[in-house]
Amino acid sequence: MTFQQAVEKLNTIEKTLYALGHAQSVLSTDGDTVAPKNSWKGRGMALACLGELTYRQLVNPGTGEVLETILQHRSEADEITFRRAEVLKESYDDLHVLPMDEYIAWRELTNEAGAVWRDAKEKSDWNMFAPYLERILANRRRYAALKSPDQPAYDVLMDNYEKGAAMEMLDPFFRTLRDELSPLIREVASREKPVPAFMRGPWPVDRQRLFSEKIMALEGINPMNCTLGETEHPFTSGDNKWDIRITTHYHEEDPFSSMFSVIHEGGHALYELDIRDDLQFTCLAGGASMGIHESQSRFYENIIARSRAFCTPLLKILKEVFPVQTGSLTEDELYSTINLSGPSLIRTTADELTYPLHVMIRYELEKAMVTGDLSVKDIPGEWNRLYKEVLGVDVPDDRRGALQDSHWSFGGIGYFPSYALGSACGVQMLRQMEKEVDVWGTVAAGDLSPVTAWLADRIHRYGRLKKPKELLAGAMGGPLDAGIYTEYLRNKYMQLYGI
């Protein structure tokens, strides 16, 4: 096969992979938003079949030869073509680890486990979910052993979400977070503030929908390319920059829960919306890693939208949409309210300060369950023990404990660290950005475009063209440093709580 022939075949392969991928992602998003509840059966069948077609399209000797041919002709290939082959080869190698029948069984298992988890969570019944997690862990151990027998299994799994993430680096990272943040969390908890009266609302969902539109506009999201749906557990999906979907969940009693979902998912969306046109419809049209993706979503959610400066434009919008409810609210009160902190049970609604310790607990549990040191039946007990030890809270049931997150059900073991890594990276990006952009001046003026332009220039536009390491080096101004992250949190919360 000549280099030219290989490039032509690569184009055809990627077109088909794009189509199959797009179909699967629209089916899933549709299923999580507007599809009838009973549609899961037909969707499951379709997704299984499309997954099999994807596997066949990617994992076969022909595709292998195409990729090898391009990788062997580095000097002839332009940057994009070479990188496409490189990234596709990673997917090829990853899928290739398991033979097709095992791969299909794995997809069926996680599909079923997702439904069982939902049910188990509702009933707060760990025993319902436990046999599925057993099988998921067994599969992940086997996968890790086949893929890289000389590495610790948990490192192999984390590598899927964050290239190069390893316990060697994450152990000291999380140790610093715990050591630095625990005393501060205790201090803040001792100065607990009451929930202010204006929060009583009411906050009708119809008005919250209008609020979401205005928040998306403030964040700079073009509705021609990105729409908002409603779902149980908010997420972002999309396969090209002209078709991104974010989702939220409205709570009648609190407008900020949905607002922060919109802004968080909006951060994921802005990443995808800014990827270069010439990478679209190839495997390079997507975020470079889950950690970098979370760095963007959490950057907008916390660093920007929970800042004092953001309260200026935010209060204006609140008064437009909820004039009665926020009649006498001030920017300072608003700032204090959206940063109320305290040890809690649920990761997704945790405040910025306690959040990383929720992640740390999951990291410790996952390490132990992957080696088998922690057996599945003992996970809830260990979960509850750690929540008491680290955050000082008593977990009343598994629904609000070990069953709260979906990640294990879809096989995403090794994903959680990305959240904390993303948060830490985001703060280091802020420090670099502040050298070049009047971040707080423009945010206070209600204009986020200079912030987004900076991130687009350093991160977004490259999609997967550059490797995560390269991207981070250009945006963070130095290696990962948990101290910069904890210093940011300390300054913010000491000021907020008058410590």
Catalytic residues: 265
Residue 322's nearest CA partner among 153, 441, 470, 198 is 198
Site for a copy of itself in 266-305 (CB under 8 A): 280-281
Cβ proximity to a copy of itself, 35 vs 386, nearer residue: 35
Pick 53 or 340: Cβ nearer a copy of itself = 53
Q: Does 457 bind a copy of itself (CB under 8 A)?
A: no
If one asks whether residue 104 binds a copy of itself (CB under 8 A), the answer comes out as no
What SS3 string covers 331-400?
A: HHHHHHHCCCCCCCCCCCCCCCCCHHHHHHHHHHHHHHHHHCCCCHHHHHHHHHHHHHHHHCCCCCCHHH
Does 435 contact a copy of itself by CB under 8 A? no
The reply on whether position 101 binds a copy of itself by CB under 8 A is no
Contacts for 394-403: CB closer than 8 Å, 24+ residues apart: 395/345, 396/345, 397/124, 398/121, 398/124, 398/125, 398/126, 399/121, 399/122, 399/123, 399/124, 400/345, 400/346, 401/345, 402/126, 403/117, 403/120, 403/121, 403/124, 403/126, 403/129
Contact with a copy of itself (CB under 8 A): which of 3, 11, 26, 381? 26
Cβ-based nearer residue to a copy of itself, 51 or 255: 51
Q: Minimum distance from CB of 247 to a copy of itself (Å)?
A: 11
Q: How far is the CB of 231 from a copy of itself (least distance, A)?
A: 12
CA–CA dist 409, 403 (Å, integer): 9
Q: Which of 38, 75, 190, 328 binds a copy of itself (CB under 8 A)?
A: 38
* Span of 240-248, 300-308, 363-371, 443-451 interacting with a copy of itself by CB under 8 A: 240-248
262 binds a copy of itself (CB under 8 A): no
Site for a copy of itself in 71-90 (CB under 8 A): none
Beta partners for residue 237, in sequence order: 245
Q: Does 242 bind a copy of itself (CB under 8 A)?
A: yes
Beta-carbon contacts of 481 under 8 Å, excluding residues fewer than 6 positions away, are 424, 428
Cβ-based nearer residue to a copy of itself, 163 or 209:
209
The C-alpha atoms of residue 320 and residue 214 are separated, in whole angstroms, by 10
- Give the residue carrying structure tokens 């399209």: 57
Compute the distance between CA of residue 136 and CA of residue 150 in angstroms, rounded to an integer.
21
How does strand 243-248 pair with strand 226-230? parallel
Near a copy of itself by CB under 8 A: residue from 3, 43, 378, 474: 43
Which range of residues in 19-27, 154-162, 321-329, 431-439 is near a copy of itself by CB under 8 A? 19-27
Residue of 21, 10, 287, 5 whose CA lies nearest to 161: 287
Binding segment toward a copy of itself, per CB under 8 A, in 239-247, 316-324, 360-368, 370-378:
239-247
Q: Does 248 bind a copy of itself (CB under 8 A)?
A: no
Residue 418 CA to residue 158 CA, distance in Å, equals 9
Q: If binding is defined by CB under 8 A, does position 243 make contact with a copy of itself?
A: yes
The yes or no reply on residue 112 touching a copy of itself (CB under 8 A) is no
Binding status of residue 212 toward a copy of itself by CB under 8 A = no
Asked if 30 interacts with a copy of itself (CB under 8 A), we say: yes
Residue 404 and residue 359 in contact, taking contact as beta carbons nearer than 8 Å:
no
Each residue 215-234 as x (binds a copy of itself by CB under 8 A) or -, in order, gives: --------xxxxx-x-----
Out of 11, 16, 176, 404, the only residue in the binding site for a copy of itself (CB under 8 A) is: 16
Asked if 60 touches a copy of itself (CB under 8 A), the answer is no
* Contact yes or no for 126/398 (Cβ under 8 A): yes
- Contact between 447 and 217 under an 8 Å Cβ cutoff? The reply is no
Compute the distance between CA of residue 419 and CA of residue 160 in angstroms, rounded to an integer: 14
Residue 45 in the binding site for a copy of itself (CB under 8 A) = yes
Binding-site member from 42, 202, 372, 392 for a copy of itself (CB under 8 A) = 42
Q: Indicate the burial class of 78 (C-beta count within 10 angstroms; 0-12, 13-18, 19 or more).
A: exposed
The distance of closest approach from Cβ of residue 401 to a copy of itself in the complex, given in angstroms and rounded to an integer, is 30
Which residue is listed with tokens 């409205």? Answer: 250
Decide if residue 156 touches a copy of itself (CB under 8 A): no
For 103, 109, 251, the CA distances from 131, given in Å and listed in that order, are: 19, 11, 33
Please check whether residue 488 is in contact with residue 494, taking contact to mean a CB–CB distance below 8 angstroms.
Answer: no
Question: Does 346 contact a copy of itself by CB under 8 A?
Answer: no
Q: Which is nearer to a copy of itself, 42 or 479 (CB)?
A: 42
Question: Could you list the residues that contact a copy of itself (CB under 8 A)?
Answer: 15-16, 18-20, 22-24, 26-27, 29-30, 33-39, 41-43, 45-50, 53, 206, 223-227, 229, 239-240, 242-245, 280-281
